[in-house]
Homo-oligomer: A and B are copies of this chain.
């Protein structure tokens, strides 16, 4: 089994393709579950990151939830309209805006967490305990490596 694909290898042998495909499928599954609450996956990520109760700047948050800055700004606008989160100017550095979850957001986040955990339990069930753990380990390591 040759490790890096040859130039004429099918695309399905490329790591980048396998990652994209797996991500697409798992993300779709989750999307379907979260649809019960009418919330996109990214909003779950945002709520979850903010759930530590500390204020997070927009930059921090954008990195954490894997969104570009302008995309995040506009999504946060919507979430503020829905009273899920709110902005506070950072007193230490007035360029920054600190984001917080509202009580409503916390309640929603709990329901979403439950849906997300149940999805992952379902994956573990059919894919296996061992494979899941090992896959997570390898992904973490890849992320650290890619840098």
Q: Please tell me how many copies of the chain the complex holds.
A: 2
A7 and B115 alpha carbons, distance in the complex (Å): 9
* Pair B134/A15 contact, Cβ less than 8 Å: no
Given contacts A5-B120, A8-B51, A21-B143, 14 further A-B contacts (CB under 8 A): A3-B133, A7-B110, A15-B135, A16-B30, A19-B22, A19-B27, A20-B23, A26-B146, A123-B146, A126-B145, A127-B141, A127-B145, A131-B141, A138-B138
Please list the residues of chain A having a beta carbon within 8 angstroms of any beta carbon in chain B.
Answer: 1, 3-8, 10-11, 13-27, 29-30, 41, 45, 48-49, 51, 64, 66, 110, 113-114, 116-117, 119-121, 123-124, 126-127, 129, 131-136, 138-143, 145-146
